[in-house]
Each structure stands twice: as C-alpha cells, then as structure tokens.
Amino acid sequence: MRAEIRYLRDAWPEAILIWVDILERGGWGRHDVRKTKRVNRFGRVEVSSTGKSDCWRPDISTDVQGFFRPDGVHLKTMGLHFYIDGLTEVIKKILVQKK
C-alpha cells in the first residue's frame, strides 16, 4: 500500500488523495475487525503524510439495519446512497478549499 500511495503522489503531485476507510462487514470476527482497523489507520497515516490529502470514515455499521444486504457484505440501495452522499461531501469540501 505504501508503494502504491507513493506512486500516486509521484505520478500526480497536484492531486488530492482521499483515503476512504474499509467498511466492516457482517460476520467478521474480532480478528478481522482489528486487522481492518490497523489497515485503515495505516492508510490514513500514509495518505496524510503525502501532503495534499483527506480521509473519510464512513459512518456505516453492520449494527444499523437497512445498510447491508442479508449477506452482510454488500450495501443495499440505502447504504449505497449514504456512502455516495458522504463521499460527495468530502469532494465538495476539498473543492471549496481549493478556491
């Protein structure tokens, strides 16, 4: 991941990199959740260290009914709308700051 993030920064130095946290999925055990938290923390630190960047932690949980399909992995329409709306807000914030 570190090499890929550095590559993106080197290839497009003026780009604003956005780290979006990996969502936890239904049926994951404690080990999977801890691993995901470590990966997300690593990604946020790496992207932030490159300069122009932002990070977003989607407030989507498997505890909230209606976001995930019964498989606990894929988002339902409502979850997708929530996800896309949140990502859109991050991009709008960045565009406003650029002006």
pLDDT, tens only, 29-65: 889 999 999 999 999 999 999 989 999 999 988 777 8
Q: What is the pLDDT of residue 1?
A: 94
User: Strands 53-56 and 17-20: what pairing?
Assistant: parallel
Tokens describing residue 75: 């988002």
Sign of CA dihedral 35, 40, 41, 47: positive
**Domain coordinates in residue numbering, the chain:** 2-98
Return the amino acid letter for 37.
K
Fold of the 2-98 domain: Rossmann fold (3.40.50)
Q: Provide the pLDDT confidence category of residue 99 given band limits of 50, 70 and 90.
A: low
Residue with tokens 């996800």: 83
Q: What is the pTM of this model?
A: 0.87
